[in-house]
Amino acid sequence: MPVDPVCGIELDEELALIHDHDGKKVYFCCSGCRRIFLKKPRKYKNNI
């Protein structure tokens, strides 16, 4: 199951927001988490 790297919750792949980061798919629960990730991708990339 994909995990949101910002808030750490497990996501349903079909419902998650998908973002492509350096060729890697990143899943988010909401646009708020995506925005936080995009501000500081280095802080969260180890959680991808």
Residues that bind Zn ion (CB under 5 A): 4, 6-7, 29, 33
Q: Closest approach of Cβ 8 to Zn ion, in Å?
A: 8
Query: Taking a C-beta distance cutoff of 8 angstroms, is the pair 18, 27 a contact?
Result: yes
- Please say which residue, 4 or 26, places its beta carbon nearer to Zn ion: 4
Q: Closest approach of Cβ 23 to Zn ion, in Å?
A: 22
Q: Closest approach of Cβ 21 to Zn ion, in Å?
A: 15
**If you count DSSP H runs as helices and E runs as strands, how many of each does the chain have, helices first?**
2, 2
Which of 6, 15, 3, 2 is CA-nearest to residue 33? 6
